[in-house]
């Protein structure tokens, strides 16, 4: 499992940026509605939802792991919050939801560090467990809070975008400018060496997974705020979207910046195809082509630079 790709972030971001420009240009020409402020806000909002969990996933990948349970965690947190909003108030309920996500993340971390189970499998197991837990918690019923205006704040206007940007900044800062961040990167490149120089990799991983869980929960809260429903089926498949946008965005090792551009690109494509009333079949094909194309270009570019620099 190769989580360490020694490529320059600048190369990656510019590639995605270029693709973004091309795609935006195309859609602007093809659809009158694309460049309208309302539509652009929609694009940014749906990008933000995936970006929030994508940012957490970036952290996980930077530490050398994946987290496949983020979709289930998002659903569970959404269910917990929605079930509590009317009983303990909006803010406490939100905190409870985030805490739920962080706890799930912590459990993931413990399974990886204490039980020695590889992250891929640990989170794969938790994927089914947490999904089952969410369904058991709600008894399979949907909790619809149709009158709830306060909670809506999470999903209205610029809130999701602001949340994503704030999170991006915080995580970028953590990765680049704190000791914790350096430890995360060290653990990601070579856990054994990191341990030898004194990095407490177990604690680092516990922290990382808890953060991933919390970001997944936040994503779930925003989604459930959009539809004002807590349901156990929420966000199925979110983990793959998160990984896809992280990968698209370029090198995980430099943090936040990478993930935002990837999620914007995917959101733009989905939105544009919807505006043009193009079948959903093509959305998957496009995503696949994008992923492969982006990484391929990057890999080939890197190879050429290598050839140029080696005597």
In whole angstroms, give the CA distance from residue 154 to residue 27: 29
In whole angstroms, give the CA distance from residue 254 to residue 212: 16
Q: Among the candidate windows 127-135, 178-186, 201-209, 254-262, which touches other proteins by CB under 8 A?
A: 127-135
296 binds other proteins (CB under 8 A): yes
Q: Give the one residue of 190, 200, 304, 305 binding other proteins; rule: CB under 8 A.
A: 190
**Min separation Cβ 169 and other proteins, Å:** 25
Q: Which residues within the stretch 23-62 sit at the binding site for other proteins (CB under 8 A)? A: 31, 33, 36, 38-39, 42, 45-46
Give the ranges where 31-118 is alpha helix by DSSP (H): 37-62, 70-88, 90-113
The nearer residue to other proteins, 26 or 117, going by C-beta atoms, is 117
Q: Among the candidate windows 81-89, 170-178, 199-207, 286-294, which touches other proteins by CB under 8 A?
A: 286-294
Q: Which residues within the stretch 214-273 sit at the binding site for other proteins (CB under 8 A)? A: 223, 226-229, 231-237, 240, 243-244, 247, 270-271
What are the phi and psi torsion angles at 2 (to 5°)? -100, 105
What are the phi and psi torsion angles at 139 (to 5°)? 65, 20
Q: Give the one residue of 87, 179, 192, 310 binding other proteins; rule: CB under 8 A.
A: 192
Q: Which residues contact 87 (CB under 8 A, 6 or more apart)?
A: 93
Q: Which residues contact 95 (CB under 8 A, 6 or more apart)?
A: none
Q: Give the one residue of 26, 106, 117, 161 binding other proteins; rule: CB under 8 A.
A: 117
């Amino acid at each position: 499992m190769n989580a360490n790709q020694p490529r320059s972030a600048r190369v990656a971001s510019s590639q995605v940026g270029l693709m973004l420009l091309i795609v935006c240009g195309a859609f602007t020409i093809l659809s009158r509605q694309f460049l309208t402020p309302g539509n652009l806000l929609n694009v940014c909002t749906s990008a933000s939802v995936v970006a929030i969990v994508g940012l957490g996933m970036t952290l996980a990948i930077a530490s050398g792991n994946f987290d496949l349970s983020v979709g289930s965690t998002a659903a569970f947190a959404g269910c917990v919050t929605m079930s509590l909003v009317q009983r303990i108030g909006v803010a406490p309920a939100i905190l409870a939801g985030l805490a739920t996500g962080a706890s799930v993340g912590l459990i993931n971390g413990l399974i990886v560090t204490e039980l020695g189970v590889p992250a891929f499998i640990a989170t794969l197991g938790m994927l089914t467990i947490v999904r089952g837990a969410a369904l058991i918690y709600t008894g399979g019923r949907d909790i619809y809070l149709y009158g709830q205006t306060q909670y809506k704040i999470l999903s209205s206007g610029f809130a999701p975008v602001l949340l994503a940007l704030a999170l991006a900044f915080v995580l970028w800062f953590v990765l680049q400018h704190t000791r914790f961040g350096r430890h995360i990167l060290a653990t990601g490149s070579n856990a054994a060496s990191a341990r030898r120089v004194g990095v407490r990799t177990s604690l680092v991983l516990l922290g990382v997974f808890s953060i991933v869980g919390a970001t997944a929960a936040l994503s779930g809260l925003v989604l459930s705020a959009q539809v004002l429903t807590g349901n156990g089926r929420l966000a199925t498949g979110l983990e793959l979207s998160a990984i896809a946008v992280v990968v698209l965005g370029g090198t995980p090792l430099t943090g936040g910046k990478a993930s935002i551009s990837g999620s914007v690109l995917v959101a733009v494509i989905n939105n544009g195809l919807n505006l043009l009333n193009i079948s959903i079949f093509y959305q998957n094909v496009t995503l696949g082509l994008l992923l492969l194309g982006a990484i391929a270009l990057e890999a080939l570019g890197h190879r050429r630079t290598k050839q140029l620099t080696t005597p």
